Amino acid sequence: MCGITGFIEWNRDLTSDLDLVLSMTSCLENRGPDAQGTWISGPIAFGHRRLSVMDPENGAQPMVIYEGDAVFSIVYNGEIYNAPELRVELQRRGVSFRTHCDTEVLLQAYIQWGPDCISRLNGIFAFAVWDSVRNHVFFARDRLGVKPLFYSQISGTFIFGSEPKSILKHPKFEPVIGPEGLAEIFVIGPARTPGHGVYQNMNELKPGHAMIWSRSGLRSYAYWKLEAEPHGDNVEETASNIRKLLQDTMDRQLISDVPVCTLLSGGLDSSALTALAVDYYKRTGQGQMHTYSVDYVDNDKHFKAHSYQPGADAPWIKRMVEELGTEHHWITIDTPELVESLPDSTIARDLPGMVDVDSSLLLFCREIKKGATVAISGEAADEVFGGYPWFHREELLGAGTFPWSIATDLRASLLSPEVRDWISPEKYVAKRYSEAVNEAPKLEGESEAAARMRVMSYLNITRFMPTLLDRKDRMSMGAGLEVRVPFCDHRLVQYVWNVPWEIKSTGDREKGILRKALEGILPEDVLYRKKSPYPKTHNPGYLHAVKEQMLQILDNPASPILPLIDSAKIRAIAASPESSSHLPWFGQLMSGPQLFAYLTQVNHWLIKYQVAIR
């Protein structure tokens, strides 16, 4: 994976702006620690940081191809998993290749088919192509939004980057937050409304979208979206098709010129991918698969089972390591490390995020990076197959709001009266929820119950999943580690989205159809283990540490967060036993401790990024 950035000014020659391009590019170094490149031609300035995965010797970017008088230049972040097939097809059309990397395949695909090339791609990607024939810059982002792409238009300048930090380096861009940005931070966050960049004048290209920046302005359009279609396969056929799609996806995503590992939690999703990876390595004679897991110091002493976290992972990890014969690496994180890395995880996102859920992943990825460059992760299976509790609990299904963030009233109560009046938190969330529900494609003739589950699936794929993909991308790339997410293969997502709920929940179990598809691949006890989310610390020391940090912020009259929040309300929560219980803050993993940690991240972000509010 890599980091891309650049800017375009049609009425200027940018040759003299090399230092600016270098500055915008250098701040993405963690995304691409192996090399840096820039390319400036007239009004176009591109920058690239490279993490070498395929053809390390010849895949430098920006890559430029000359076809007579025509010039095509690309900066690209991602992996094209069907690059071998595309290469063969392009060679049949007379194209000669000078490298073995997918960057050249992608650029040649664009030269041959123009913007329509994206419909042929299977992969995760965000890229920009300067096309001197059409006299425009073409941008595209993968169908599920695994790879990010932010942009801004200011006074005739178009600025883009893999992360906001590169856009913030441009002197024309100011870090300003208005009422919508505050609403995104305080009542939607750590999720974001699709396309919303939070900062004023910053957007993110939506998943499955492309855009063209030309002298006549910006045009953005969807090239892919989920389609509601009848599902004609029975349970056995559905399970068989899912298994075939998953195996094909894994075979594609395990191709690499650098070491690959898997993240293993002992749960259904990671165990399945690890089993498929081990099988692939055996078939291709690549030796032993390395696996990694994360845990926390003294978690065994403090863990208490509850509905969202029914059991500890360690025994199941050992079970799978013994079953598959992997070379396993146990990574253990201590509470002080979690607290100390909260600022680092904020900088990795350029925004407040999932606090210790982020920082633990950042620390985990730093350790993995010492032994591998590419990791396979089970992200997105719960959204695609319906694994979360809110798919199965009537009070959450019928909540009338985003089920992972049901306490809008609690969130609103933490804000100062002036901010509440300014951003209207309840109205903002209701509007965003209504937009999402109305956007979901409908299937004619579907029952009310089936339609409700279709909408719930759509909400999870388009509103909740991006939060976890953001987390995975920023924290892994913050450590220079490429993470691949096979459950985000668009063919699999589209197919499963149309599977009726009674088939998805085969056996009256969450993700029942996935379990059935994996029969014979996993041991039965692992196959039917109760779902458990990403592990978090249960050490009461974490709550104490983040609570104390928050109280220090409240005691400091210079803290920039103070005008935005109701300090008395937060002090009351800190003094209450509620703060250590399961306050409904966000998702399965963010409750009382995470509330305090999130607010400390907001304060740090306001200071570090010198954010103005107006």
Hey, which residues are catalytic here? Answer: 2
Half-sphere exposure of 173 (CA within 13 A, CB side): 28
Query: What are the CA-CA distances from residue 161 to residues 3, 5, 153, 171, 358 (Å)?
Result: 8, 4, 12, 14, 21
Which token pair is 206?
A: 């939506």
Judged by DSSP in three states, 556 sits in coil
Angle at 86 between CA 231 and CA 470, to 5 degrees: 65
Two tokens, residue 523: 């041991």
Residue 73 contacts residue 63 (beta carbons within 8 Å): yes
Residues 6+ apart with CB under 8 A from 59: 50, 52, 99, 101, 103, 104
Strands, DSSP E only, in 30-144?
35-41, 44-50, 63-67, 70-80, 123-131, 136-141
Which of these, 146, 196, 148, 175, lies nearest to 431 by C-alpha position? 196
- Alpha-carbon span 578 to 261, nearest angstrom: 40
CA 89 to chain centre: 31
CB 67 within 8 A of CB 92: no
Residue located via tokens 């953001």? 470
Residue with tokens 């380096």: 169
DSSP 63-79: EEEEETTEEEEEEEEEE
- CA distance between the termini of the chain: 36
Residue with tokens 């209207």: 424
Q: Choose among 366, 568, 386: nearest CA to 464.
A: 386
Please, which residues bridge with residue 218 across strands? 213
Residues whose CB is less than 8 angstroms from the CB of residue 131 and which lie 6 or more positions away in sequence, other chains included: 72, 110, 114, 137, 138
Contacts of 98 (CB under 8 A, 6+ apart): 58, 104
CA–CA dist 291, 372 (Å, integer): 10
3-state secondary structure of 130: strand
